[in-house]
Structure 1
């Protein structure tokens, strides 16, 4: 794609391309593989669901909480490693940081996700917190 061209993805096209998944969440690609530096997607979480513990490799991630009051970002096993994201909240998840998304509320949560790369990377960690360190930082 030319760097001077504008790319629009209408709502009905969001999610037609696949993106990395983790159990408990539905990720829908929006602008993927159209820029060498950035990509975007949406994440939907039904009530009382959570993702697997995972990281996004070398990509920094920005999360914007669009709707739903139960969205929670967890970045470690301790209670202080947990923050609720109310609609309108922004969060930065640095590269390689293990985390988990959860919807502890009664309504569906929707987040807009922007990552610092051409396409999303999702590395699920089946052994739990700290397992990427045991596996060479999960670089795949």
Structure 2
């Protein structure tokens, strides 16, 4: 019996949809890898990246911050970062002038972190882990750990 996908040919001789369609990749929640850039006080798990599924312009994963824990200060280079709060009430901290700004979140909230913005995540709960899903506009998970929110950040010349 002939499969309809095998019957279609393009001008290069490729069969089926292979010549013009990509493949959908499936990454199971229990198959995420911790083999990605890390920051103290949190655990990043990589799901979608150039290495895991061949993405070209996107990185996606999940981050866990334990109870009563804060991450180290860091930024994500050229990547825009979108965050979706799954559980817990993480606090996102960044510097504005000489003061710290704290964004308190709840499940269902979204946070946007522009490129090169130093920040950290904190979990003030004494007994609940904070879990967020992260999407970045780069193929790999760029993480630059910093000594403080006010550390000098190198940006490429425009």
Structure 1 CA distance for aligned equivalents of residues 87 and 67 of structure 2 = 12
Unpaired runs of 5+ residues, structure 1, are none
Cα offset, 1:24, TM superposition = 0.2
Structure 2 CA distance for aligned equivalents of residues 46 and 3 of structure 1 = 41
Distance 1:4-1:26 versus aligned 2 partners, 3 A rule: same
| Correspondence for 1:108 among 129, 135, 138 | 129
Q: Does 1:28 align with 2:45?
A: yes
Structure 2 CA distance for aligned equivalents of residues 88 and 19 of structure 1 = 25
Cα offset, 1:132, TM superposition = 2.6
Compare relative contact order (CA 8 Å, sep 6+) and give the higher one, 1 or 2. Answer: 1
Match of 1:61 in 2: 81
Match of 1:9 in 2: 27
Query: TM-score, normalized by length of structure 1?
Result: 0.87
| Correspondence for 1:52 among 59, 72, 79 | 72
Structure 2 CA distance for aligned equivalents of residues 129 and 137 of structure 1 = 15
Cα offset, 1:3, TM superposition = 6.2
Structure 2 CA distance for aligned equivalents of residues 7 and 93 of structure 1 = 27
The runs of at least 4 aligned residues of structure 1 exceeding 4 Å deviation read: none
Query: TM-score, normalized by length of structure 2?
Result: 0.77
Unpaired runs of 5+ residues, structure 2, are 1-19
Structure 2 CA distance for aligned equivalents of residues 120 and 72 of structure 1 = 21
